[in-house]
A and B are shown apart, each in its own frame.
Chain A
Amino acid sequence: MILLADDDPVFLESVAAVLRPRYDVRTVANGREALIAVDDDPPDLVILDVMMDHMSEGFDVARTLRSAEETSLIPIIILTGVDRVYNVRMEVDESWIPADHYLGKPVAPDELLRKVAALVGPGAAGSP
C-alpha cells in the first residue's frame, strides 16, 4: 500500500490515478493525517508533499518516520514544487532530506512509476 500526502485534492487525485492500476493507494491531506495513517496501517511507501499546512511539514513527517524504529525502514518519496535552487540542493545531496527519492512538481507520471517501482516493485500489473 502506498500512502500519499498532499494538501491539494486535485494533485492527489492525479497521482492516485497513475498509481492505482498497480498499487493500493491511500490519500491524506496533511502531515498529521499521514502519521496517523502510518500508525494505523504501515504502508510500503510514503509519498509526501513538502509544504502542506506548514512550510516544511513533509520534511517533518519524513524525519519523524525515520527517527522511529518501527517506521524507519519505510521508503519515502518527497514531492516538492519549490524553486529550482531547492531542487539542485537536493540533487547534490539527497541525504539532506530523510527521503529515498524526491520528485519535483509537476510530476511526470512515467518517472513517478519508475521511482515507485524501484522502491516497492512493479506492482500488480508488472513492470511499468
Chain B
Amino acid sequence: MIRTEPTPRRPGDAGRGRETGQGPVGDDGRDHTSYLFSWELHGRLLWFANLRWAAVVGLAAAALAGPAVGMPSTNPSLAVVAALVAVYNLGFIYLLRYRLGPESAYGDLRTAAILQMVTDLAALFVTVHFTGGCASPVLPFVVFHMAIGTIMIETRSMYLLACAACGAAAGLFVLEHLGVLVRYPSAAGGVSTVATCGLSTAMLVGLVFGVVYLTDSVTSRFKARNVELHQITTELQRSLAEREAVERRKSHYMRISAHQLRSPLGTIKTSIQVLLDGYLDPGSAEGRRLLEGTAARVDSLLAIVNDLLELAKMREGRVKAPWARNVSVNQILADIFDAQDTFASEAGVELVPRFIQEGAAVLDWAVPPDLVYAFENLIHNAIKYSKPGGGTVTVGLAVDHERATVVVADQGIGIPDGLHEDVFLEFVRAPNAKHAAAEGTGLGLSIAREAVAMHGGEIVLQSAEGVGTTVTVVLPLHRVPPELSAP
C-alpha cells in the first residue's frame, strides 16, 4: 500500500510562503501556514486596536493642551480627529470581534490590517497638518506606524504603504508651502522654511523605508522560525499519533493472541478435569473420544504457537533469515504442488498449473522458507475451502521484466463481503470458513502477507461467497534489501 506523505519543506521555503501571505498548502488542501498566520494577525490587530485608544486620549489631550504650547490650531481640530479615530476604532473592534475571527481567511484579515494602516495614516497626516506640517512633533509617529505595520503584515504591502505615506507627506508639505493649505505653527514656534521642510521630508522618507527594512529583517526570521516550529509540531503530533496507533495495535494483538491460546487451553483443562473427576471413564469409548478431541486441541494450540512464532520472526525483520540469491518461483510452486497433491486428491480437488506466460520467474533475492510458507498457505487454503465434492484450484504464474505474478484461484466457498481485508488480520476467520474446516489458526493469511511484503511484493484478494476466491501475489524480480545491495 502506498501512503502519500506531504513533501518536507525547507524553513526558507516556508518563510517565503509567509512573505506573500500564502503558506504551504497541507495535504487536506487547507493552507495551514496562512491559518497559523491568520490566527496571529487577528491577535495583533486586536492588540493594535486597543493601543489606538491611547492615541485617542493623546489626541484629545493635545487638542486641549495645544493652545497653551503655542499651537492654537489643535483646538478643536484634534478633538474632531480624536472623535473620528474613536469611531473607526470601535468599528474595527466590532469587525474583529464579531465578523472576522482568528480562523478567518488570511486575505480578509490582511485587508483589514491595510485598511487600519491607511485610516491611521490619514488621521496622522491630518494631525501633522494641524500641528505644524513638516515641523510637527507628531511626524515620528509615521515611522512608528510603519514599524508596527511591518510586524503585522507582509513586506510587499508595507513597502507600498511606505511609498504612499512618503508621497502623502511630501504632497501635504508641498501644498502647505504652495499656500493651497494653511500652514499652522508647530510647538517650537513659527513655521518651517522650504529647506528645513525638504530636509524633514528626506529624513522621513529615509526613516520610513529604513524602519520597514530593518523591522522586516528581524521579524522575517521569527516568522520563518514560527512556521518551522509549526511544521515540526505538526510532524511530532502525527508521529505521536502513529506511535500510539502502533501501541494500540500491539496491545490488541497481544490480547487477541492470549485469548486464542486461552480458548483451547480452557477446553483442554475442562476435558482433563471431567476425566480426572470421574465423570467419564478414560477407558470407555466416550472417554477415549474426549481424549482424542483433547489431543486435537493440543495440536491446534501448537499450530497457533508455531504460527505466532513465524509471524513474530517475520515482523522482527529477516535480515538474518536464510536468504538466497536467484530463487526460482517456478521451483517453489512445483515443490508445493508435489507436497499438496495428496491433500488435494483426498479433497477431490484438481490442482491445475497454468503458466500464463512462458519463462522462469527468478527473484534476485528471497527467503525461500518464507515464500514457501506463503504460497503453501494460499494453495492449502484454496484446497481446504473448496466446496464439498471438489473442484479445481488453478495456480497461474506470469512473468515480465520487472515482476512475477502468482494467481491462486479456487471455486470454493468464498469469503463474505466485508471480510476481504479483515481475513489478513490475525485470528480472523470468516464464519463460513469455520464451518467448512474446524482446524485453522487464523494466522495463515497474516503470515502470507507479511512474507510477501518482506519481499517487496503485495497480495490482493478477490472473492465472492459461494463462488470462489482468487488471490494474486505480485513479487518484484530485482529487489535486494538495501543492506545487501551496497557494494
Please give the residue numbers on chain A whose beta carbons come within 8 Å of chain B beta carbons, in ascending order.
7-11, 13-15, 17-18, 21, 51, 53-54, 81-83, 105-110
- Give 4 new A-B contacts, CB below 8 A, not counting A83-B262, A105-B270: A17-B286, A53-B434, A105-B263, A105-B266
Q: Can you list the 6 inter-chain pairs with the closest CB atoms, starting with the nearest? A: A105-B266, A10-B293, A106-B269, A53-B431, A106-B270, A11-B267
Q: Mark B263-281, 1 if CB is under 8 A from A, else 0.
A: 1011111110110010110
Asked if A106 and B266 make an inter-chain contact with CB atoms under 8 angstroms apart, the answer reads: yes
Residue of B nearest to A82 (CB): B259
Q: What residues of A have a CB within 8 angstroms of the CB of B255 in the complex?
A: 83
Question: For residue A11, which residues in chain B have a CB less than 8 angstroms away from its CB?
Answer: 266-267, 270-271
User: Which residues of A sit under 8 angstroms from B277, Cβ to Cβ?
Assistant: 109-110
Q: Cβ of A10 and Cβ of B294 under 8 Å apart?
A: yes
Task: Name A57's closest neighbour in chain B (CB-CB).
Answer: B431
CA distance A51 to B438 in the complex (A): 15
Interface flag for B52 (CB, 8 Å):
no
Q: How distant is the Cα of A88 from the Cα of B364 in the complex, in angstroms? A: 55
Closest residue of chain B to A10 (Cβ to Cβ) is B293
Q: With A and B bound together, what is the CA distance between A89 and B434 in angstroms?
A: 29
* Residue of A whose beta carbon sits closest to that of B294: A10
Question: A8 vs B262: C-alpha distance in the bound complex, in angstroms?
Answer: 13
Q: Which of B216-272 contact A (CB under 8 A)?
A: 255, 258-259, 262-263, 265-271
Which residue of B258, B259, B265, B434 is within 8 Å of A106 (Cβ)? Answer: B265
In the complex where A17-B274, A17-B279, A106-B273 touch, is A83 in contact with B289 (Cβ < 8 A)?
A: no
The interface residues of chain B lying within 8 Å CB-to-CB of A14 are 267, 270-271, 274, 290
Minimum CB distance partner of A19 in chain B: B279
**Residue from A8, A106, A107, A108 with most neighbouring chain B CB atoms (10 Å):** A106
Provide the residues of chain A in CB contact with B297, threshold 8 Å. 8, 10
B265: chain A residues at CB < 8 Å are: 106
Chain B residue at smallest Cβ distance from A53:
B431
Chain A's closest residue to B274 (CB) is: A14
Say whether, besides A83-B259, A106-B273, A10 and B296 are in contact (CB < 8 Å).
yes
**Residues on the A chain within 8 Å of B279, using CB:** 17-18, 21, 109
Interface residues of B, count at CB 8 A: 27
B interface: dominant SS: helix
Other-chain residue from B267, B269, B280 in contact with A8 (beta carbon distance below 8 A): B267
Complex Cα spacing A108 to B255, Å:
24
Show 15 residue pairs from A and B whose CB-CB distance is below 8 angstroms, ordered by the A residue.
A9-B438, A10-B297, A11-B270, A13-B290, A14-B274, A15-B270, A17-B286, A51-B263, A83-B258, A105-B262, A106-B267, A106-B268, A106-B269, A106-B270, A108-B273
Give, as a whole number of angstroms, the nearest-CB distance from B288 to chain A.
12
Known: A9-B293, A13-B293. A81 touches B274 (CB 8 A): no
A13 touches B289 (CB 8 A): yes
A17 to B290 alpha-carbon distance, docked (Å) = 10
| Min C-beta distance of B197 to chain A, whole Å | 86
Q: Provide the bound-state CA to CA distance between A7 and B274, in Å.
A: 19
Expressed in whole angstroms, the Cα–Cα distance for A107 and B263 within the complex equals 12
Q: How far is the CA of A109 from the CA of B263 in the complex (A)?
A: 17
Min distance, Cβ A57 to any Cβ of chain B, angstroms = 10
B271: chain A residues at CB < 8 Å are: 10-11, 13-14
B434 touches A7 (CB 8 A): yes
User: Across the two chains, which residue of chain A brings its CB closest to B273?
Assistant: A109
Chain B residue, CB-CB nearest to A86: B259
- On chain B, the residues within 8 Å of A105 by CB distance are 262-263, 266-267, 270
Bound CA span A69–B307, Å: 47
Q: Which residues of chain B are near A106, meaning CB under 8 Å? A: 265-270, 273
| Complex Cα gap A7–B429 (Å) | 13
Q: Which residues of A contact B286 (CB under 8 A)?
A: 13, 17
Asked if B259 contacts A81 (CB within 8 A), the reply is: yes
Distance from B427 Cβ to chain A, minimum over Cβ atoms (Å): 11
Closest Cβ of chain B: how far from A76's Cβ, in Å?
19
Interface-central residue, A13, A18, A53, by most chain B CB under 10 Å: A13
Shortest distance in angstroms between B370's beta carbon and chain A's nearest beta carbon? 31
Closest Cβ neighbor of B267 among chain A residues: A11
Residues of chain B lying within 8 A (CB to CB) of residue A107? 266, 270, 273
Residue of B266, B270, B293 with highest tally of chain A CB at under 10 A: B270
**Given the complex, which residues of B lie within 8 Å of A15, measured CB to CB?**
270, 274
In the complex, A102 Cα to B234 Cα: how many Å?
Answer: 48
Complex CA gap A40/B103 in Å reads 64
Say how far A12's CB is from chain B's closest CB, in angstroms: 9
Chain A residues closer than 8 Å to B431, beta-carbon distance: 53-54
Tell me the nearest residue of chain A to B266, going by C-beta: A105
- C-alpha gap A106/B431 in the complex (Å): 24
B101 CB → nearest A CB, Å = 45
How far is the CB of B340 from the nearest CB of chain A, in Å? 27
Q: Tell me the bound Cα distance from A82 to B263 in angstroms.
A: 8
CA of A109 to CA of B272 in the docked complex: distance in angstroms? Answer: 11
Instruction: Scan residues 400-438 of chain B and give those whose CB is less than 8 A from a CB of chain A.
Output: 431, 434, 438
Q: Is the CB of A10 within 8 A of B274?
A: no
| Closest A residue by C-beta to B292 | A10
Instruction: Name the distance in Å between A108's Cβ and chain B's nearest Cβ.
Output: 6
CB nearest neighbor in A for B293? A10
Are B290's CB and A109's CB within 8 A? no
Name the A residues within 8 Å of B296 (CB-CB): 10
Compute how far the CA of A9 lies from the CA of B266 in the bound complex, rounded to whole angstroms: 13
Chain A residue nearest in CB terms to B434:
A53
Residues of chain B contacted by A54 (CB below 8 angstroms): 431
> What CA separation (Å) do A14 and B280 show in the bound complex?
9
| Measured CA separation A15–B277 after assembly (Å) | 12
